[in-house]
Structure formats: structure tokens, C-alpha cells
């Protein structure tokens, strides 16, 4: 029998029992939809984290000093007490001395944490960064209005700040906020500049930040130790030399290599990519399980269908259908159900992704590989789970099937 | 065209062995119209299944058009049914989700015939049973007599060597039943070989020859011309 004939027969059988076919499909639809959407979210996260890391500049090195206790500010932690036994304390001058190396272009110690920022009656939580002027260049942080933190601000511990666009929008409803005042933790700050927008990464906005002079941040934290340092190498070729230089310096100071870590951008990228590919795989796997459950649903319904249509099978066999014809008929029916479910799942997944893009604030793209995988897998589900019921149907003996009521 | 020798068939029901056919000898010539009559439990259904290649005998020899039907696999039997036998059942056995024409075309689909030729042949036989105008109706939209005529059209469409009718009037009122019997007579005159299985002596008597079966044995194996009713 011709395959086209079988396929059209399958569509007829599905049309004859629409409600049931749709409910059966639902399992596959949900399965495929979740595979596609979850994998896209995983990939979208990777892409946005990767691009935000890349936007920091490829020459960037990040140094973090491990401490045993965490201070008032979270993130990389800070000291509460500067006289812990056996603890080496890095000062601003210590880290600025790295600029003596030809491989190092600029150094900025940083301190960061989350604090409440207030303007008028409006409150919001913001990430506060204490930096040196060189941080602007190290992190490609440019301003869209006003100016960045300058050396005089650092020297005088001036109460000035540069705000991200999100913070400006949230507190003032505009990005035209230069010379306005806001208060951080009860202390008044004059806004001297607005940062260029960098967009969001992985659900957190890099525009929800307030940059203040490093010396002032240190004082606000009652903390003179440095735990986090951003360094830019002279150029991409000297990243390794700069890293070696800094590692040697820190080893001399700490006499071990477990108190600090120096990460370059490619190391950070690969760490992030490794994490997020594991995440994508896990999400895809979970979604795959729901597809499997959908397949079991197909098998269940096909078995019911076979016993309901025993008489039909008997009639078909009486007029000359071979085992293969019956097997193919039911198998094609299962594959058509799962294939249609797969396509519908893709379509619904695309709609859901559109809706989620706004909510998650990331770009979600359906990759061709995932589409092929989802459709292929759903067809395979139809074959695997349709085979048993179809085999059962094909093995019915015509006399018994004919006299079945 | 049908030659049976010493056909035996046993069924195992739990520990009991029921002998359904106990050495049956039958000979039916081409273009003959033969009825097989017997009470229920006589083995006539088993005999019909074997003649119709829905089942194979345990012992004995069955030649259909000179071809020995023994130890055939299910698929080989399906091919024989498809080419040589047209069934007409008491329950009509039409597929309810399909139109009359699609039902008639079903055997041709399994022969692998192209759609164009299928449509032509199915319209031809539906015209012959007087249902050409109703070919797009589903069985549920047709009367019992019309459904049985669709079933006859389905049996005819492959030009089988044998039309095998199992109580074809059993589900019909007597007037419609008479019309259907009339149709069998016409088919017989047109040169078809017909085997009609029934428990009703009045129906059996309409065939030029009746084979009586009782307890798995044929009572009048050699009688070829006169029905003993």
C-alpha cells in the first residue's frame, strides 16, 4: 500500500476523533514547547552574560582577595577588622604599584555592595561601586552626560556620584539628572554624571548602579583593606604577562596561592559558558522528560484506539490488508499525532518566547538545531510509543477481530 | 474451483477439544451458486472461515482455483483474500467513518491500485448495485438494505473468483432480504461463483444446490444437482 494513502488515512482517523487526538497531542505539545523555550532561555542567558563580559573589555583582569569573614558589603567581601593575625592587607598604593609593569595599563581597586538610595520620597536599592577614575577606562564605562569620578573626588572624598540610567529613571523619572542630589545610606551625594546604558545581563541590570569615589566608599564601609581589583592590560597580547606579574606580586605578599585569584576575561567566559551549558542541558533534560511522558500518553491512547477499532482491523484484514498494512496504519497515526504535536509545540514555544523576552529582558532565539531536535525527537517518540500498539493491532487474527463487539 | 478433501479443524477450549469439522469433502464448480446450510454449532462458520481463507484447516486438502491453501502464513492468506474472495457479512461490516465509495475502494487500496482507477471501478460497481447517487453517504445514512448493497459492491469490485456470503439477509426484514437475494441471483446469472452460508432453509433453497452440514460433517457430499430441503 502506498504511504501517502496511509498518511491520508491517519489524518482521517485523527479527524474522526478530534478531541481525543488533541488531548493526546497536548503531552507532546507541552514537551516540545518546554524543550524549545527552556533551551532558548539557557542559550539567551549564556549569550547575554557572555556579551556583558565581553563589553567589559578584553584586556580586563579581575583580582579577588579571599577573606575569612565578610564585611558589611557583600559581593567579594571585606574586612571588619584589619588586624587579624596572619592576614596581609593590601593598600591602594600597593595595587597602584602594579602600574609600574609595562604589561599593566591601569588599576582600580573596587568595593561594592547593595544599599538603599533615596531622592525625595523615592527609595530604591542599588549596587554601589567605589572606584578610582581609571575604572572608567578599565571597564569601558563611559558617561552619557556630565563627567565620571575624577582624581580630585577621590583625593577629597567628595560626596559625588555617577548614576546608571535605571537608577536615574527610577528616582527622578528622567535621565537628565546631573547636579541633582540623592542620598545613600543617609548621606547626601551630588550627581555629576550619568553612565552609558549597557543593558541587562542574565536578568540583572548593569544600569542599576551608583558609582562613587573609592576613598569615600572605603570610609563609608569603615574598611581600608582591598578585596577586589580591576586591572587592564596594555593590550590583548600582554594579558598573560600582566596576569603573571600580578600573581607573582600576590604570591610574594601572601606566601600561598589560595588567598587570591586572578581571572582574565577568557577564563571568566569559559567559566560562565561551562556553567550555563550545564544549565541548558539540565533544563533541556527536564523538558525532555515531559516529552517522554507525552509519548506514554500516545501509547496509552493508541492502545485504547486499537481495542476500540478491533472490528475495523478485522474488516480491513478480511478485504486483504496484510500485517504490514495495519502496522503501518497505526504507526503512521501515532507519528502524525506526535509530529503535529511537535509542530504545534514549536509554534506555541515561539509565541511563549516572544512573551518571555519582555519579562526576562533578554533576547531569545530558537536555534535551528533545537527545532530539528525537538521535531525529530517528537517523531521518534511517536514511532517508539506507537510501535507496541501498532504491533498489537497487526497481530489480531481476522476471524476474532471480525466477531469482536 | 473449490475442492476440499478430508478437512479437519479442532478448537481447544480449556481442556476440551471441540471438533468443528470432521473430514469434510466439498467440490464447487466455477459459476455455481451453492448454499451451505446447518444449525448453529454445526461447523458451517468454521467451514466458511476456511473457504474464505480467514483460517486454515488442521488437516486435509483445500484447492482454490487449483491452488493449494495449506500452511499459508497470515499475510499469504491476506493476498489470496484480496485477489480471489469477496465477503458479504450478516453485519455488513462497513467502516462507519468512510463513505460508501471509500468502503468499496478499500480492497483496491490494499491491492495498491492508483486512485483514478479505484474511483472508476468503484463507481462502476456502485452503479451496478444501484447506489451510484449515494456513494458519498456514510453507512449510518443508509438503510440496512443499502448498506448490504454497498457491501456487495465491495465484494464485487476486485472481480473475485468467489463471493462468500455469510447470512447476508440475517439482519434485514424479509422484503429487503428478498431484494438482496434477487441481487445474488442476478450476480449468479452474470457468471459469478457464489457460496451462501445460512441456517434458514428457505434461503438455502433458493440456491440451485445446498450442502447440508451437521456436527462437522457434510450430509450430502456427492449430491451436485438437487437440494434436499
The stretch A62-83 carries a mean pLDDT of 54
The verdict on A315 touching B (C-beta cutoff 8 Å) is: yes
CB contact under 8 A, B79 and A322: yes
Q: Is residue B156 part of a domain?
A: yes
Pick from B49, B50, B54 the residue to mutate for testing the A interface (most A CBs within 10 Å). Answer: B54
ipTM (interface predicted TM): 0.91
Same structural domain, A331 and A214: no
| pLDDT at res. A400 | 85
* Closest chain A residue to B50, measured at CA: A399
Q: Is residue B168 part of a domain?
A: yes
Q: Take residue A284 and report the three cell numbers written for it.
A: 533541556
> pLDDT by residue (tens digit) across A134-183?
998 888 788 888 999 999 999 999 999 999 988 898 899 888 899 999 99
| pLDDT at res. A93 | 87
| Gap from A382 CA to chain B (nearest CA, Å) | 24
Question: CB-based burial of residue B71 (10 Å sphere; 0-12 exposed, 13-18 middle, 19+ buried)?
Answer: exposed
How many residues are given for chain B? 229
The verdict on A398 touching B (C-beta cutoff 8 Å) is: yes
| Gap from B53 CA to chain A (nearest CA, Å) | 9
Same structural domain, A304 and A375: yes
The stretch A339-364 carries a mean pLDDT of 88
| CATH number of the domain where residue B85 is located | 3.40.50.300
Print the SS3 string covering B47-72.
HHHHHCCCCCCCEEEEEECCEECCCC
The verdict on A403 touching B (C-beta cutoff 8 Å) is: no
Chain A residues with CB-CB distance to B140 below 8 A: none
- The number of C-beta contacts closer than 8 angstroms across A and B is 63
| pLDDT at res. A71 | 43
Q: Is residue A76 part of a domain?
A: yes
Question: What residues make up the domain containing A76?
Answer: 60-233
CB contact under 8 A, A317 and B78: yes
The stretch A102-115 carries a mean pLDDT of 88
Q: Is residue A323 part of a domain?
A: yes
Q: Take residue B43 and report the three cell numbers written for it.
A: 461447523
| Gap from B79 CA to chain A (nearest CA, Å) | 6
Place of cell 492468506: B77
Spatial distance between the Cα atoms of B47 and B45, rounded to a whole number of angstroms: 5
Same structural domain, A200 and A108: yes
Say whether pLDDT at A349 is over 50. yes
CB contact under 8 A, A312 and B55: no
Place of cell 476474532: A400
* Closest chain B residue to A322, measured at CA: B75
Q: Do the beta carbons of residue A88 and residue A249 sit within 8 Å?
A: no
Q: Which residues are CB-contacts of A341 (< 8 A; sequence separation ≥ 6)?
A: A24, A25, A26, A27, A28, A29, A31, A32, A294, A378
Same structural domain, A226 and A82: yes
The stretch A360-381 carries a mean pLDDT of 84
| pLDDT at res. A72 | 44
CB contact under 8 A, A312 and B112: no
Q: Is residue A96 part of a domain?
A: yes
Q: Do the beta carbons of residue A75 and residue A112 sit within 8 Å?
A: yes
Same structural domain, A73 and A109: yes
| pLDDT at res. A85 | 42
Q: Is residue B226 part of a domain?
A: no
Chain B residues with CB-CB distance to A2 below 8 A: 112
| pLDDT at res. B154 | 96
Q: Is residue B223 part of a domain?
A: no
The stretch A97-112 carries a mean pLDDT of 89
CA torsion angle for A213, A217, A218, A219 (degrees, to 10)? 110
Q: Is residue A78 part of a domain?
A: yes
Same structural domain, A17 and A92: no
Nearest to A220 by CA among A296, A117, A301: A117
| pLDDT at res. A1 | 56
The stretch A356-376 carries a mean pLDDT of 83
Q: Is residue B227 part of a domain?
A: no
Which of A187, A210, A233 is the endpoint of a domain? A233
- Categorize the per-residue pLDDT at A79 as very low, low, confident or very high, splitting at 50, 70 and 90: very low
- Categorize the per-residue pLDDT at A200 as very low, low, confident or very high, splitting at 50, 70 and 90: low
| pLDDT at res. B222 | 54
Q: Do the beta carbons of residue A7 and residue A336 sit within 8 Å?
A: yes
Same structural domain, A209 and A278: no
Q: Do the beta carbons of residue B139 and residue B150 sit within 8 Å?
A: yes
| pLDDT at res. B228 | 41
User: How many domains does chain A contain in total?
Assistant: 2
Q: Is residue B63 part of a domain?
A: yes
Say whether pLDDT at A55 is over 60. yes
Q: How many percent of chain A have pLDDT more than 70?
A: 91
CA pseudo-torsion sign A104, A105, A109, A110: negative
Q: Is residue A391 part of a domain?
A: yes
* C-alpha distance from residue A386 to each of A23, A85, A290, B27, B97 (Å): 16, 70, 17, 45, 22
| pLDDT at res. B144 | 93
Same structural domain, A278 and A387: yes
> pLDDT by residue (tens digit) across A14-51?
888 889 899 989 989 998 998 888 888 888 888 877 77
Question: What residues make up the domain containing B176?
Answer: 2-218
Same structural domain, A41 and A96: no
| Gap from B91 CA to chain A (nearest CA, Å) | 10
Arithmetic mean of pLDDT over chain A: 84
Q: Is residue A317 part of a domain?
A: yes
Say whether pLDDT at A80 is over 50. no
* Closest chain A residue to B75, measured at CA: A322
Same structural domain, A68 and A106: yes
Kindly state the DSSP code that residue A197 receives in the 8-state scheme.
P
Spatial distance between the Cα atoms of A249 and A245, rounded to a whole number of angstroms: 6
Which residue did the predictor score with more confidence, A205 or B197? B197
The verdict on A137 touching B (C-beta cutoff 8 Å) is: no
Q: What is the pLDDT along chain B (229 residues), one digit of tens a residue?
A: 899 999 999 988 888 888 999 999 999 999 999 999 999 888 888 999 999 999 889 999 999 988 898 878 889 999 999 999 999 999 999 999 899 999 999 999 999 899 999 999 999 999 999 999 999 999 999 999 999 999 999 999 999 999 999 999 999 999 999 999 999 999 999 999 999 999 999 999 999 999 999 999 998 755 444 444 3
Q: Is residue A263 part of a domain?
A: no
> pLDDT by residue (tens digit) across A306-344?
999 999 999 999 999 999 999 999 999 999 999 999 999
User: How many domains does chain B contain in total?
Assistant: 1
Chain A residues with CB-CB distance to B81 below 8 A: 317-320
Chain A residues with CB-CB distance to B89 below 8 A: 402
| pLDDT at res. A75 | 40
Q: Is residue A254 part of a domain?
A: no
Spatial distance between the Cα atoms of B34 and B227, rounded to a whole number of angstroms: 9
Amino acid at each position: 500500500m502506498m504511504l501517502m494513502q496511509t498518511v491520508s488515512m491517519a489524518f482521517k482517523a485523527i479527524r474522526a476523533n478530534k478531541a481525543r487526538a488533541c488531548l493526546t497531542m497536548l503531552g507532546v505539545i507541552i514537551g516540545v514547547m518546554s524543550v524549545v523555550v527552556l533551551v532558548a532561555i539557557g542559550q539567551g542567558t549564556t549569550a547575554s552574560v557572555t556579551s556583558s563580559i565581553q563589553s567589559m573589555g578584553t584586556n580586563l583582569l579581575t583580582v579577588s582577595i579571599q577573606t575569612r569573614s565578610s564585611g558589611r558589603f557583600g559581593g567579594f567581601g571585606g574586612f571588619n577588622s584589619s588586624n587579624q593575625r596572619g592576614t596581609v592587607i593590601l593598600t591602594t598604593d600597593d595595587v597602584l604599584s602594579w602600574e609600574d609593569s609595562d604589561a599593566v595599563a591601569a588599576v582600580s581597586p573596587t568595593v561594592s555592595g547593595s544599599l538603599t538610595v533615596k531622592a525625595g520620597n523615592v527609595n530604591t536599592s542599588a549596587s554601589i561601586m567605589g572606584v578610582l577614575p581609571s575604572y572608567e577606562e578599565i571597564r569601558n564605562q563611559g558617561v552619557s552626560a556630565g563627567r565620571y569620578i575624577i582624581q580630585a573626588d577621590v583625593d577629597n572624598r567628595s560626596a559625588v556620584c555617577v548614576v546608571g540610567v535605571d537608577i536615574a529613571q527610577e528616582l527622578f523619572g528622567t535621565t537628565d539628572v546631573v547636579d541633582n542630589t540623592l542620598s545613600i545610606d543617609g548621606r547626601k551625594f551630588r550627581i555629576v554624571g550619568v553612565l552609558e546604558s549597557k543593558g541587562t545581563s542574565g536578568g540583572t541590570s548593569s544600569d542599576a548602579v551608583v558609582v562613587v569615589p573609592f576613598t569615600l566608599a572605603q570610609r563609608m564601609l569603615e574598611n581600608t583593606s582591598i578585596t577586589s581589583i580591576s586591572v587592564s592590560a596594555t593590550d590583548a597580547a600582554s594579558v598573560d604577562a600582566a596576569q603573571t606579574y600580578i600573581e607573582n606580586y600576590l604570591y610574594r605578599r601572601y606566601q600561598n596561592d589560595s588567598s587570591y585569584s586572578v581571572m582574565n576575561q577568557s577564563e571568566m567566559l569559559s567559566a560562565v559558558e561551562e556553567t550555563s551549558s550545564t544549565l541548558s542541558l539540565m533544563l533541556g533534560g527536564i523538558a525532555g522528560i515531559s516529552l517522554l511522558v507525552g509519548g506514554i500518553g500516545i501509547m496509552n491512547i493508541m492502545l485504547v484506539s486499537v481495542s476500540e477499532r478491533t472490528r475495523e482491523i478485522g474488516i480491513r484484514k478480511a478485504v486483504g490488508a496484510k500485517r504490514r498494512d495495519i502496522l503501518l496504519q497505526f504507526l503512521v497515526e501515532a507519528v502524525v499525532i506526535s509530529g503535529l504535536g511537535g509542530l504545534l509545540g514549536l509554534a506555541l514555544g515561539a509565541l511563549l518566547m516572544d512573551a518571555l523576552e519582555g519579562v526576562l529582558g533578554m533576547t531569545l532565539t530558537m536555534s535551528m538545531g533545537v527545532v530539528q531536535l525537538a521535531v525529530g525527537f517528537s517523531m521518534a517518540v511517536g514511532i517508539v510509543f506507537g510501535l507496541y500498539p501498532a504491533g498489537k493491532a497487526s497481530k489480531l487474527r481476522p476471524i476474532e477481530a471480525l466477531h469482536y463487539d | 474451483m473449490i475442492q476440499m478433501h478430508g478437512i479437519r479443524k479442532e478448537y481447544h477450549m480449556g481442556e476440551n477439544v471441540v471438533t468443528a469439522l470432521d473430514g469434510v469433502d466439498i467440490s464447487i464448480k466455477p459459476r455455481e451458486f451453492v448454499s451451505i446450510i446447518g444449525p448453529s454449532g454445526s461447523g458451517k462458520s468454521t467451514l466458511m472461515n476456511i473457504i474464505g481463507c480467514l483460517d486454515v484447516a488442521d488437516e486435509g486438502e483445500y484447492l482454490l482455483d487449483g491452488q493449494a491453501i495449506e500452511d499459508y502464513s497470515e499475510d499469504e492468506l491476506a493476498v489470496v483474500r484480496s485477489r480471489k474472495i469477496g465477503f458479504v457479512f450478516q453485519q455488513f461490516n462497513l467502516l462507519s467513518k468512510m463513505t460508501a465509495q471509500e468502503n468499496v475502494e478499500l480492497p483496491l487500496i490494499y491491492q495498491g491500485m492508483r486512485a483514478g482507477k479505484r474511483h472508476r471501478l468503484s463507481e462502476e460497481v456502485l452503479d451496478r448495485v444501484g447506489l451510484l447517487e449515494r456513494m458519498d453517504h456514510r453507512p449510518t445514512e443508509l438503510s440496512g438494505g443499502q448498506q448490504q448493497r454497498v457491501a456487495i459492491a465491495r465484494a464485487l469490485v476486485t472481480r473475485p473468483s468467489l463471493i462468500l456470503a455469510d447470512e447476508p439477509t440475517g439482519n434485514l426484514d424479509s422484503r429487503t432480504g428478498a431484494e438482496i437475494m434477487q441481487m445474488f441471483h442476478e450476480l449468479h446469472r452474470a457468471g459469478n461463483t457464489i457460496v451462501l452460508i445460512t441456517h434458514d432453509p428457505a434461503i438455502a433453497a433458493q440456491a440451485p444446490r445446498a450442502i447440508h452440514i451437521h456436527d462437522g460433517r457434510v450430509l450430502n457430499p456427492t449430491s451436485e444437482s438437487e437440494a434436499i430441503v
